[in-house]
Amino acid sequence: AIYCKHRARALFVELEALNARRDNLEIEWGQLQLEQSAWSTHAFVERVASARLHMAMPPPKEIEVITP
């Protein structure tokens, strides 16, 4: 009976630790999703292309839209 109580307490402590880890991972997942959505915006991509890659939008008359 004493062993069972000790084991139950140990398992409960482990369960609480796992629940806390899950909660932290869910928070991190949400933050990563927000970060991904920010990185995929047109404005962000354009800013990075301009600043890091020294790219620039061509003049409108040089842009051709190709449709399938």
Per-residue pLDDT reduced to its tens digit, 2-47: 889 999 999 999 999 999 999 999 999 999 999 999 888 989 999 9
| Average pLDDT, rounded, for the chain | 95
* pTM, rounded to two decimals: 0.59
Place of tokens 């301009």: 50
Half-sphere exposure of 41 (CA within 13 A, CB side): 8
Backbone angle region of 67, left / alpha / beta, with phi > 0 → left and psi within -120 to 50 → alpha = beta
Ordered by start, the domain boundaries in the chain are 2-55
Rounded Cα distance, 63 and 36, in Å: 28
